[in-house]
Structure 1
Amino acid sequence: MGNWISTWTDGTWTDDSAARALPALLCLPPAGAGCQQFRSWQPALTGIAQVYGVQLPGRENRWREPMPDTFGAAVTAIATELEATVGDRPLVVFGHSFGGLIGYEVARRVTPRALVVSGCRAPTHWDGAGRGIVDDGQELDKLFDTAGLDPELLDEDTRALMVEMLRKDAQLSLSYVHRSDGPLPVPVHAWGADGDETVSAADLDGWAAVTSAGLTRHTVSGGHHAVLRRPQPVLEHLTTLLRGEGVPLAPTG
C-alpha cells in the first residue's frame, strides 16, 4: 500500500490476492481522525468487499507527515493511488462528515458505482464551514461534545493532539471551492441523524443538486457520529450496494 490508502485482511495491515478480486469499499474518516476506525468493517464484509481506508497525514501511522497545501492536492493524491490500487474493480465510496466531502471530490475523478456520505453537508453548503474550528475555541468544544468526548476528561497531551488535527483538517477544508462543471454521474446515498446539530436536513437534501443519478436519504437516531457508533445499518446498506442487488448503480469506469 502507498501512503494515502491502507487496507486490512483478517485484522492485519496487509493485502491478499483473493481480497483484491473483490469489489472495493473506500472509507474516509471525519476531520481529526484516522482510518484505523474502519478496521472492524473488514471482518463484517468478509467475502463481500475489500475495505480500504484513506489516511491523511498528521495522524496514526502518518503523524509526522505534513498536511498537503490544498484540498485539491489531497484529492489528487488519493485518486491517483486509488486508481492504481483498485483498477477496474467495482468501487463504492463512503465518507463521514469531512470525509464525505473528500469522497465526493474523489468520486468525481474515479467514478465509483455509488457514493455514500454520512453526517456531511452537500458540497454547495460547505464553503467556509471549517472557519469556526480554526478561529473559535467554543466550536472546538462543540465538536468534542458531538463526538461524545468530555474535553475535561482528556489528558492535556491527547486533547492538544486532537485539537491540532481538527484545526489542520478545518484549515484544509477552507481551501475547498465547489466547482459546478456538471453533476456526479453516480447515485448518492446521504445518511443523517435526527439529533445532529451540525448538519441539517437541508444540508443533506442539497446532495440532490450534485448528482444526475439520484439521491436517496437515510435517517437514524442519534447525534453527528451516530452512523459510525452504530454502523450495522450502513454496513448492510453498503453490502447491498457492493453486491448490486436490486439497486441501480452507475456503470464502472
Structure 2
Amino acid sequence: MGTWISTWSTDPADAALPALLCLPPAGAGCQQFRSWQPALTGTAQVYGVQLPGRENRWREPMPDTFGEAVAATAEELAATVAADRPLIVFGHSFGGLLGYELSRLVRPRALVVSGCRAPGFWDGAGRGIVDDAEELDKLFDTAGVDPALLDEATRDLMVAMLRKDARLSLSYVHRPGDRLDVPVHAWGADGDETVSSEELDGWAAVTTAGFARHRTTGGHHAVLRRPEPVLEHLAGLLRGEGAPLTPAP
C-alpha cells in the first residue's frame, strides 16, 4: 500500500520548518507540487496528498466515501507532521474541498483554496463527469487539454482518474456543524467559468477567523500553471505574516 502523504525534501533541517500540505485537483496526483519545494527553500517543507488510483498508487482501490479519504489522510498526517508544527493547507479545485474537511480535523494555521466552490455548493458536483461524455470534454477544455491530441491510452487514463474522483465527490454531503476557527483564503481566476464569484464568496461562511479573496487571471487551473503569486502568498502565511482579512459574518 502506498502512503497518503508525500514529501520531496532531502534536508533533515526542513523538519523544523512550517509544513505546507498540498491537495491536487480531481484526476491528478500530487507530483505537480514537487517543484514548489525548491521555490519555498528555507520557508517550508512541502507535502502532497496522494489519493489511491493515480501515479504511484494507480493500482490501489479508491476509498468508498469522501469521509474515508479525509480520515485516512488525517491519520497519516498526524503521524508525519508534529502537532505543534505550523501547518498551512492548500487545495486546488476538488483538493480544496478535501482540504476544508481535513482542516476541520487538524486545525492548520490557515486554509488556502483555489478554483474551488465553497462546501455548500458541492452537493451533486461531479455527476456530469461520471455520466456525460460532453461534460467530460468540457472539463478537458477547462484544463486546457485537447483530447484529440492525446493518444487513446493517455486519454483513457485521464478519464479513468477524473471519473474516480467524480464518483468520490458524489459521496460528499456538506454538514456545516461548527465553523473553522482558522483564516480562509480563496483564490479565483477571472477566466474560470466553472467557479462563480458567489461560490468563492461562500467560503466566508465556513470560518470565524476571517476571510480573504484573491484574484489572478487565466482559466480554472491558472494558479497551478502560474503559481508565483500564490507561492508568494503562501510563503507570507508560512512566515506568520498577516494578510488583510474580512471579519467573519
Write the distance in 1 (CA, Å) between the matches of 2:56 and 2:176: 35
1:161 aligns with 2:157: yes
- Alpha-carbon distance, 1:248 to partner: 8.2
Q: Determine whether 1:97 maps to 2:93.
A: yes
Secondary structure of 2:186's match? strand
In 1, distance between residues paired with 2:181 and 2:225?
Answer: 30
CA 1:81–1:170: 2 relative to 1, 3 Å: same
Asked if residue 200 in structure 1 is aligned to residue 196 in structure 2, the reply is yes
SS of alignment partner, residue 80 of structure 1: helix
Following TM superposition, where does structure 1 have runs of at least 4 consecutive aligned residues deviating by more than 2 angstroms?
246-249
Letter in 2 for 1:169: D
- Give % identity: 81
Match of 1:115 among 111, 115, 123: 111
Q: Deviations over 1:145-179 (max 9, x none)?
A: 11111000000000001000000100000000111
Look up the SS of the partner of 1:18 in the other structure.
Answer: helix
5 Å-filtered alignment, 1:60-71, equals 60-71=55-66
For 1:219-243, what per-residue CA distance to the aligned partner results, in whole angstroms no more than 9, with x for missing partners? 1111000000000000000000000
Alignment of 1:169-208 (within 5 A): 169-208=165-204
Question: Equivalent residue of 1:104, what SS?
Answer: helix
Partner AA of 1:44 in structure 2: A
| TM-score computed with the length of structure 1 as normaliser | 0.94
Whether the 8 Å contact between 2:212 and 2:244 is mirrored in structure 1 is no
| 1:72 equivalent in structure 2 | 67
Structure 1 unmatched ranges of 5 or more: 11-15
Alignment TM-score, normalising by the size of structure 2: 0.96
Task: Name the residue aligned to 1:20.
Answer: 15
Residue in 1 that maps onto 2:48: 53
| Aligned residue in 1 for 2:5 | 5
Asked if the contact 2:89/2:99 (under 8 Å) is kept, the reply is: yes
Equivalent-residue separation in structure 1 for 2:182 and 2:244 (angstroms): 10
Equivalent AA in structure 1 for residue 69 of structure 2? A
Q: 1:146 to 1:164 in 2, by over 3 A?
A: same
Q: Which amino acid aligns with 1:5?
A: I
Q: In 1, are the aligned partners of 2:184 and 2:210 still within 8 Å (CA)?
A: yes
- Following the alignment from structure 2 to structure 1, what is the Cα–Cα distance between the partners of residues 154 and 243? 43
Please name the residue that 2:121 is paired with.
Answer: 125
Among 194, 205, 217, which residue is 2:213 paired with?
A: 217
Give RMSD over aligned pairs.
Answer: 1.4
The aligned counterpart of 1:13 is none
**SS, match of residue 12 in structure 2:** coil
Q: Secondary structure at the match of 1:117?
A: strand
Q: How far has the Cα of 1:130 moved from its partner?
A: 0.8
